[in-house]
Amino acid sequence: MAVLIHSVYSSVLLISVMFNSLTSFQGGLFSAAKESKTIASTTILSAVVNTVLNAIFIPVWGAVGAAMATVAAYVVMWCARLIKSRQFIRMKITLKTDIFVYILLVLQVVLEHLAGHWYVCQTVIFITIVFIYRSYIKRILATFFKNWF
């Protein structure tokens, strides 16, 4: 039974891991730019969002609510850091494309929790994401094979 309970919210937490990775990368940029106040303020903002949403979501959805609150908190931190980072660094970001892919990933998590898991739709989403990022994937693979073989 415990395995089934964990599987319900673990995929939601995977989305939070993605945004945690993005915010950690941004945190490295802020550290290099000696912007520790930004790191602290965005972390506090995220903690407040997480705490408030936990108070709202946990009574309704339990552990899944806590996972959703964590995702929302990391998304808020990512947005705040993205906005602030534009003040001192220029990055080539395909924001519309990336947000579309993030929405597809959330949709994939939702489909996973529906009866039947909608595997065909999940596969289509996966193929769509690979297609969207195909040029990045090609470059990564080319670099890997160039350096290792």
Q: What is this structure's pTM?
A: 0.79
Amino acid symbol at 3:
V
Average pLDDT, the chain: 87
In which band, very low, low, confident or very high, does the pLDDT at 3 lie, cut at 50, 70 and 90? Answer: very low
Q: Which pLDDT tens digit goes with each residue over 47-101?
A: 999 999 999 999 998 988 999 999 999 999 999 999 998 888 787 878 899 899 9
3-state secondary structure the chain: CHHHHHHHHHHHHHHHHHHHHHHHHHHHHHHHCCCHHHHHHHHHHHHHHHHHHHHHHHHHHCHHHHHHHHHHHHHHHHHHHHHHHCCCCCCCCCHHHHHHHHHHHHHHHHHHCCCCCCHHHHHHHHHHHHHHCHHHHHHHHHHHHHHHC
